Amino acid sequence: MSLKKLVAGNWKMHGVSADLDQVRAIASAAQGFEDVDVALCVPAILIDRAARAVPGFSIGGQDVHHADKGAHTGCTSALMLLDAGASLTIVGHSERREYFNESNQVLAEKINRCLEHSITPIFCCGEPLSIREAGTQNEYVAKQLKESLYHLSADQLKSIVIAYEPIWAIGTGKTATTEQAQEMHAYLRSVLAKQYSSAIASEISILYGGSVKANNAKELFGCPDVDGGLVGGASIIAADFITIIRSLK
């Protein structure tokens, strides 16, 4: 079955009110891609302004707390994301895992909160360079899926997006080869098929995230099990991001 394609931008810690023009340009261009979903995950303080600037366009967060409310200074809950106008959020980005010590168990709770409040989670998984060099990347990512997603029902699983991030290719200028990307995406789908079913696995969008740029997007998106991309720095400039979106179409 054909999947709905998705290209999501992750602005990371970039973006102020002046950059809403880039959001508007991307949203305007996205209207012409009927078979591709486009979203922008912006800093939390920009979500409300971005959502108001482009009604109907998918604006998301970059993280979510695993509780609905409480004494969690500086954090943002799923309810807050929803209230600000977000329809999705990134969960478990490698930078969050590394710098904030987010465990697979905590990420499972974040997934739960997202689903409870109709926020689509983009669940990130992927291996560091040491694991890739040891040749144990399959076991590593399988454990991430098992500990963060396997508690979900089949219907719940169909409500999430998975993004494979080879950590060694994020912000380094390195990119996984098309063979490496396809191999891992196919493996992830096979793991889901084994736990749930082939039919369910075929409905899950699996994005590639790891230095996706205008000059490599078409080749990466041409892989049969790559359903789109989670794009970092190249999503901040509208012209660059629009080129990447066209590569998926």
- Domain of 64, CATH number, reads 3.20.20.70
Tally of domains within the chain: 1
Catalytic residue among 93, 95, 102, 185: 93
| pTM for this prediction | 0.96
36 in helix, strand or coil? strand
Residue-level length of the chain? 249
Q: How does pLDDT run across 128-159, given as a tens digit for each residue?
A: 989 999 999 999 999 999 999 999 999 999 99
So what's the pLDDT on residue 115?
A: 98
What domain range includes position 238?
Answer: 5-248
CB 97 within 8 A of CB 17: no
Catalytic residue among 65, 102, 165, 185: 165
Closest CA to 41 of 77, 8, 80, 78: 8
* Averaged pLDDT of the chain: 95
Active site residue 72: no
Cβ neighbours for 206, distance < 8 A, ≥ 6 positions apart:
161, 162, 163, 164, 185, 188, 189, 225, 226, 227
Active site residue 165: yes
